[in-house]
Chains A and B, each alone.
Chain A
Amino acid sequence: MTAADTAEYRIAHLRDRLASEDIAELGVRIEQRGTGVALYGTVSSPACRAEILRLAEEELAGLPLHADLVVVRSDAPEHPEELT
């Protein structure tokens, strides 16, 4: 089997690793897009993003990665919501 043939299993393994290893990250979407893999979502810190990308490059070696991981914002809100 080629790398692309087994992509869905490798994506599943990456998800398992993100959940079970130190990173404990369950909030990232990982999907096959064309011949590559897209990773997107919001993560808690730049270190978290770097670790996710490191694990993805390791687990999905040979597949083009398209990453769009955003670090969560921690600003105070500007406006409340009025619930009437």
Chain B
Amino acid sequence: MIRVAAVGDIHLGPDGAGTLRPAFDTLSERADLLLLAGDLTRHGTVEEAEVVAGEVAGLGVPVVAVLGNHDYQSDQEAGVAAALDRVGVTVLEKEGTVLHIGGVRVGVAGTKGFGGGFAGRSGGEFGEPEMKEFIRYTRRCADGLRDALEALAEAGCAVRIALTHYSPVPDTLAGEPLEIYPFLGSYLLAEAVDAAGADLAVHGHAHMGAEHGMTSEGVRVRNVAQPVLGQAFAVYHLPVRTSDGAGPGTGTGTGTEAVAGRAAGVR
């Protein structure tokens, strides 16, 4: 069993330093990894990212993150990712990473994702170049997610998790106004998850949404936006399928592995 802790939308700034740390300090007792589902900062500045880094540095469990739209607000997303990387956080964008947890290869594929809406009520690549690019950007995120999940399967991961900021399904948006669903997620992300397969999909972004949802193919989806959870993080216990469980030479410790990926890459 793999214990997955996750939270998104923590929106930290200088005034938020230390607010999550007491809860995060209990993580090593209750979880094997921590996923951060984007919107870690308020305005996407490096200064705010340093606050986030301080909250998650040295927790004793691997931390894997994607960025959210707030983390892009100041056009410093590379600096935000670098600040997190400096304290050992693996920041994913259209790529995956393999963690070795108690001899089990656990893969996390991540992308921020983007909007567009859900099947039957979605935007399309038509008309103005801005509209076409809107949907094409989402499609690139979804393609990267699918390629990364497939590469994690090829790398022998017994557990695979899709990590996004935007939602892959409308279920977890329940509570948000219907009119803004196209800005909260896209079915293209769910289609990618279902095509490649995953054991769990985790996202944030929808503060007024619901925690529980599912893709068309039955992959469990969890909205871990902190306002939705009403706590510092959630913990999900994922079973490990024994038929393709621990790969050879994985050892018993916890660590990360870089694996050559396909088009989008896995690291």
- Taking Cβ atoms with an 8 Å cutoff, the residues of A that contact B are 22, 24, 26-27, 29, 41-42, 44-45, 47, 72-77, 80-84
Contacts and interface: CB of A to CB of B under 8 A. Distances in A.
Interface stretch (B106-114, B127-135, B227-235, B253-261): B227-235
A31 B233 CA distance: 29
Contacts of A22: 43
Given A80-B235, A83-B200, A42 B227 contact: yes
Contacts of A41: 207-208, 227
A80 to B, nearest CB: 4
**Chain A binding surface, main DSSP class:** loop
Contacts of B3: 80
B73 interface: yes
A37 B11 CA distance: 26
Contact of B43 (A24, A45, A72, A73): A24
Interface of B: 3, 9-12, 15-16, 19-20, 22-23, 26, 30, 42-43, 70, 73, 177, 199-200, 207-208, 220, 226-227, 229-239
Contacts, number: 77
Contact of A24 (B10, B26, B73, B220): B73
A21 B207 CA distance: 19
Given A24-B42, A74-B232, A84 B20 contact: no
A73 B7 CA distance: 12
B232 A27 contact: no
A74 B199 CA distance: 27
Contacts of A29: 177, 208
B178 to A, nearest CB: 13
Contact of B70 (A24, A74, A75): A24
A74 B23 contact: yes
15 contacts: A29-B177, A29-B208, A41-B227, A72-B226, A72-B227, A74-B226, A74-B231, A74-B232, A75-B231, A77-B231, A80-B236, A81-B234, A81-B235, A81-B236, A83-B220
Contact of A27 (B22, B199, B227): B227
A73 B231 contact: yes
Contacts of A73: 230-232
In order of increasing CB-CB distance, the 8 nearest A-B pairs are A42-B227, A27-B207, A80-B235, A76-B23, A24-B42, A74-B232, A44-B11, A76-B26
A74 B19 contact: yes
A37 B22 CA distance: 37
